[in-house]
Amino acid sequence: INFMTKQADDLFRAVAELQPRGGGGAGGMTMQDKVKRILDDILDKLPEQFSMMEIEERIDERTPYTSVFLQEVDRMSQLIYEMRRSLVELDKGLKGDLSMTDAMETLMDSLYDDKVPERWDILAWPSLRPLASWLVDFFARHRQIVEWTGDLATPKSTWISGLFNPQAFLTAVMQVTARKNEWPLDNLEIVVEVTKKMLPEEIDAPTRDGAFVHGLFAEGARWDINANSLDDALMKQLYPSMPVMLVKSAMQSSGKESKDIYKCPVYKTQSRGPTYVFTAGLRTKAPPTKWVLAGLSLVMDVVE
């Protein structure tokens, strides 16, 4: 199903790119008119950059988690700056106040084709989303950062899929554990416990050992809450949501393979490959080889 869906998406995208981009005859919108409407809509909703100095002045103690969120604030501010700068520049070009450059033409084509502009994509996170969906994701990620900057406290459950750098958050989990127990950081690994709570709102308070995270999807199987283990995916459920997970750190195992644990790779997008984040050990009643053959993985961002 995934293969046929991708083939159809590629076909329709190719057809759309072949459409003429000239004047909109019979009362239709021209390319410039459509781009101007999209541009104005984004600028109206685009939030202001964060004040790093003001946020840092409010921090009493700089923990590993605090450092991660400060990095997220900085990267979000850089992205917002570039989005506003490029859109304002293109707006001036469309009005005739500036000469159109190659960069402005490229941005206009991206907005028209519902693609994430290349410069934005470089500053952002790996994503397969079209522009409209990407913007929805952008505003959701921004809200998480705004909530953190409100009280500067570690969230009860962190939307790990909404971080620019989820690996840094997992490293922070290990750093906190290493300091607490005076363990060498190099000897630690991430371990995962899947809870019975599907929604982050069900978490009452942050855990003292590790961190609760949410926002992951399974591809190739599902999580059975009642059995507390992996199970076969249900029909027509391509990417079932995973429950809230507790990620914590422990001393590395001796290397022996456990028969009831599947070492599940976690990726940022469905393209897998270079978007690998970490390996989550998930309980299974079936042999782990079953899930290897099924190509089971967890994905942080799903485009259906």
CA 123 – CA 104 distance, rounded (Å): 17
8 Å CB contact between 157 and 265: no
| The pLDDT of residue 19 | 65
Dmax over CA atoms of the chain, in Å, equals 73
CA 203 – CA 149 distance, rounded (Å): 20
Considering only CA atoms, give the Rg of the chain: 22
Q: What is the amino acid identity at position 58?
A: R
Q: Report whether pLDDT(178) > 60.
A: yes
Name the token pair of 152.
Answer: 């500067």
Q: Report whether pLDDT(17) > 80.
A: no
Average pLDDT rounded to a whole number, residues 216-243: 94
Pairing relation of β-strands 297-299 and 217-219?
antiparallel
| Average pLDDT taken over every residue of the chain | 91
Average pLDDT rounded to a whole number, residues 171-187: 93
Angle at 40 between CA 36 and CA 45, to 5 degrees: 155
Paired strand residues for 191: 248
pTM over 0.85: yes
| The pLDDT of residue 25 | 47
Query: Could you tell me the end-to-end alpha-carbon distance of the chain, in angstroms, rounded to an integer?
Result: 11
The DSSP string of 49-113 is PP-HHHHHHT-SS--HHHHHHHHHHHHHHHHHHHHHHHHHHHHHHHHTSSPPPHHHHHHHHHHHT
The residue behind tokens 């998480």 is: 144
Neighbouring C-alpha atoms within 13 Å toward the C-beta of 217: 16
Between 27 and 220, where is the model more confident? 220
8 Å CB contact between 43 and 132: no
**H-type alpha helices, 152-243:** 166-181
Q: How far is CA 97 from CA 37, 38, 72, 93, 155, in A?
A: 18, 19, 35, 6, 46
Average pLDDT rounded to a whole number, residues 33-52: 96
Q: What is the amino acid identity at position 86?
A: S
The residue behind tokens 């999807």 is: 217
pLDDT in tens, 72-129: 999 999 999 999 999 999 999 999 999 999 999 999 999 999 999 999 999 999 999 9
Residue positions counted in the chain:
304
CA 49 – CA 28 distance, rounded (Å): 36
8 Å CB contact between 234 and 197: no
CA 133 – CA 112 distance, rounded (Å): 14
| The pLDDT of residue 18 | 64
Average pLDDT rounded to a whole number, residues 225-248: 94
Angle at 131 between CA 127 and CA 135, to 5 degrees: 85
Q: Report whether pLDDT(27) > 70.
A: no
Q: What is the amino acid identity at position 228?
A: N
Q: How far is CA 144 from CA 69, 119, 161, in A?
A: 10, 23, 11
* % of the chain at pLDDT higher than 70: 90
Q: Report whether pLDDT(262) > 60.
A: yes
